[in-house]
Copies of this chain bind each other. A is one copy, B any other.
């Protein structure tokens, strides 16, 4: 039954996020834009205890092994999208520094064993702030993710995977590997000749020898956010840091599961990225409206189109496309 109402419970939950966004994040927005690569600790220190508590409750509940109901998943997704929109309205760069297992955690949740979940995710329920990340893109593999060249070779003797290669554009790569006890889920191929089906995700933990942050990207915006290049130089990780099976599905197999798993993780993250964009858009739209209102320019929705000023019509267009995009985002959540 069609319903566009966002439950009041969720709206109330957002009040804290709204406060963080408008007071903590906004007041430091310009600072972190000017001081690239400094970390927004005010924001992180507020978020971490809250998230840690949530993670703990979720982690403990997971033992019950109950599948969430459909409606519940929906509520969770909606809550996440609204939260991300609100925090990005505050500051998209700072939001990206949220201490969270992020895409890496999602991959572990999706295909990890119980043991792996404990080994890699329990840390998000305790201690200092931590980050997870995912490393997929390489200099030669952008939109063409199937072209990745980072290799993982199993050293049977030590029962370790040896990783070699370079990953770029890894969001929170430095926070995960060098600035906290986090991890990065790295996509590597166990057999360069077998294409997508040879691509597997590996968990690389902070402090692993042979793993270096080669560069932090200097960017146009979201400068608080750490976008790392990571080099793997004979980096050794335990055999069971591989997520899922080591088996290479044949090309004609319908389930090129490794690659599909990666794509699936990205799929789930799409509405969240969209929500972040929507937060930035709303911030821009609201600020524009406030500045124009201060000049006496407001939109009267009963004015016929031919009598609108150009600026008023721009506002209507901005509001219309913003709303259209927002409804699409909510539906995708």
A-side interface residues toward B, CB under 8 Å?
A: 305-313
**What 9 new A-B contacts, CB under 8 Å, besides A306-B309, A306-B310, A309-B310?**
A305-B310, A306-B311, A307-B309, A308-B309, A308-B310, A309-B309, A310-B310, A310-B312, A310-B313
A307 to B311 Cα, complex, angstroms:
8
A310 to B310 Cα, complex, angstroms:
4
Please name all residues of chain B whose beta carbon is closer than 8 Å to the beta carbon of A309 when the two chains form the complex.
306-310
Q: 12 A-B residue contacts at CB 8 Å?
A: A305-B310, A306-B309, A306-B310, A306-B311, A307-B309, A308-B309, A308-B310, A309-B309, A309-B310, A310-B310, A310-B312, A310-B313
User: From A297, which residue of chain B is reached at the shortest CB distance?
Assistant: B306
Residue from A306, A308, A312 having most chain B Cβ neighbours under 10 A: A306
A312 to B312 Cα, complex, angstroms:
13
Quote the shortest CB–CB distance from A311 to chain B (angstroms): 5
User: From A316, which residue of chain B is reached at the shortest CB distance?
Assistant: B310
A174 to B305 Cα, complex, angstroms:
46
- Please name the 10 residue pairs, one residue from A and one from B, whose CB atoms are nearest each other, closest first: A310-B313, A308-B310, A310-B310, A306-B311, A309-B309, A309-B310, A305-B310, A308-B309, A310-B312, A306-B310
User: From A314, which residue of chain B is reached at the shortest CB distance?
Assistant: B310
A312 to B307 Cα, complex, angstroms:
10
Quote the shortest CB–CB distance from A211 to chain B (angstroms): 51
Quote the shortest CB–CB distance from A251 to chain B (angstroms): 31
Quote the shortest CB–CB distance from A309 to chain B (angstroms): 6
A15 to B311 Cα, complex, angstroms:
42
Please name all residues of chain B whose beta carbon is closer than 8 Å to the beta carbon of A307 when the two chains form the complex.
309
Quote the shortest CB–CB distance from A303 to chain B (angstroms): 10
Please name all residues of chain B whose beta carbon is closer than 8 Å to the beta carbon of A312 when the two chains form the complex.
310
Quote the shortest CB–CB distance from A89 to chain B (angstroms): 26
Please name all residues of chain B whose beta carbon is closer than 8 Å to the beta carbon of A313 when the two chains form the complex.
310
A311 to B306 Cα, complex, angstroms:
6
Please name all residues of chain B whose beta carbon is closer than 8 Å to the beta carbon of A311 when the two chains form the complex.
306
Please name all residues of chain B whose beta carbon is closer than 8 Å to the beta carbon of A306 when the two chains form the complex.
309-311
A87 to B309 Cα, complex, angstroms:
36
A307 to B297 Cα, complex, angstroms:
11
A311 to B312 Cα, complex, angstroms:
12
A145 to B248 Cα, complex, angstroms:
45
Please name all residues of chain B whose beta carbon is closer than 8 Å to the beta carbon of A310 when the two chains form the complex.
305-306, 308-310, 312-313
Quote the shortest CB–CB distance from A313 to chain B (angstroms): 4
User: From A313, which residue of chain B is reached at the shortest CB distance?
Assistant: B310
Quote the shortest CB–CB distance from A135 to chain B (angstroms): 42
A308 to B310 Cα, complex, angstroms:
6
Quote the shortest CB–CB distance from A130 to chain B (angstroms): 49
Residue from A305, A307, A310, A312 having most chain B Cβ neighbours under 10 A: A310
A250 to B309 Cα, complex, angstroms:
63
A309 to B309 Cα, complex, angstroms:
4
A329 to B207 Cα, complex, angstroms:
64
A177 to B307 Cα, complex, angstroms:
54
Quote the shortest CB–CB distance from A226 to chain B (angstroms): 39
Please name all residues of chain B whose beta carbon is closer than 8 Å to the beta carbon of A308 when the two chains form the complex.
309-310
